[in-house]
Structure 1
Amino acid sequence: MFLTIAHRGDALVHRENTMPAFRSAVEKGANTLEFDLRLTRDGKIALLHDARLDRLWGVPAAIAELTLDEVYAIDGDGYRVPTLDELLVAFPETTFLVDLKTDDVVEPAVRELRRHGDAFERAIFVAARSGGREALVRLRSAEPDAVIGLDWTEAGPPPQELLDALRPQYFGPRWRVADAAGVPTMRERGYRVWVGPLAAEADLAAAYDYGVDGIVSDDIDALLRLAAPVAAGE
């Protein structure tokens, strides 16, 4: 399956990392939802990219400083920050690209995913942050059956010792470093590869023609137009 990965949902139409954004992406045909996980003060798993609520929600506070009830009370112009539980209930068949934004969310997220049928098996874990690779190595040790993706921004291929420790099934370089990161070689070695996040149609088309196993896109409509021939042939 070619992964059509909606970056924080259909974020060009709805506020990112909200249930309307995720529903819109899936209804349009995205087979994979990318989202970010953080903990509230009372240990609930919220879907939010930023550590703070200023940018999207107009609240000068960190998500870790508020309880879930306090987060729910925020007037978000019809939107609100959802929980991982809500998303898992709503999408019982979708593949998930789960970005673990803090160390303390890793174990609760694994427990929640395992609690929801086969959701853990449908999840690909990444940690696109400082210290994220170490967190994923610990996840691999604790959960040998986890599906892990190595997010990559460096102008060079990943070192073998990191690959040995992490044992990722997926490799996710940024498009601008695809050649330097050795994407063709990584695919030949058996890793599934995605690139992104991308939004410009020219970049999406170039990445698609380059030959990858999935694309993370901010413009899910443009990505689905490109991927439609693949989906029709599956």
Structure 2
Amino acid sequence: MRRAVITLASIVLVLVAALVVIAVNGDNSGDNKSAAAPEESTAGPTPVQTLPPDEGDYVAPAKYVALPGGAEKVGDLPVKFPHSPEGAASMAVASARNAWSFDPAEVKAGILTYASDRYRDAMAASAEDGAKGNREFAGVPGAGPIPPGATLNAWPIGVKWAAVGSNTVDVLVLLRVTSVPGEGAEPKTTLVVVPGRAVWESGDWKGDATDPKPLPDPVDIGTAKFNEDGWKAIQEGDRL
């Protein structure tokens, strides 16, 4: 498997439901000032380094986590997560999974479901750009019909979090993203680390802006580095 390091440039509004790089000009200090509308960029995540295939024997994850589900759903998207760090991580994982889509309506639905109130409208306006960035990431033309056989799927494989307070949790989600640009093409698998901040708002966890920090290199599950970097393997039913 070939892997790519994904970087998100500038100050990023890390709502993973959009996958749109946004420079946030608003005040994130938590006071009552309104946040300025984010500046949009049509640029999606950019692979900047390709790493060689992993070598060696499979190394079992040292830590597993069965994240709690949402108590309700909005459409197909889970909501009403427990008021706990694990609940915050579960929201971030659900948001990340939904974000990788060619369909602007699906991207927008994730934004409306998971974005914090102060960024929801501005992010929803970026849904078309988010879907376009996903198409380009997968090697699909940015406009026009999706080629037959083209697919884009994200599978969260690892997570870690740090509680900033009882109502704020910083989360990192490790994803294995597989894309095919069309029939007959070879699948491409990319490992991606997506950062996010979850805030407790109106009885649920929502995605908010977070300060930019250096991201760890993405590593695959089943490697020693996965454990060394402190990732928890995500257990979902009988699957990892």
TM-score for the superposition, normalised by structure 1: 0.26
TM-score, with normalisation over the residues of structure 2? Answer: 0.26
Query: When you count helix as a share of all residues, which structure comes out higher?
Result: 1
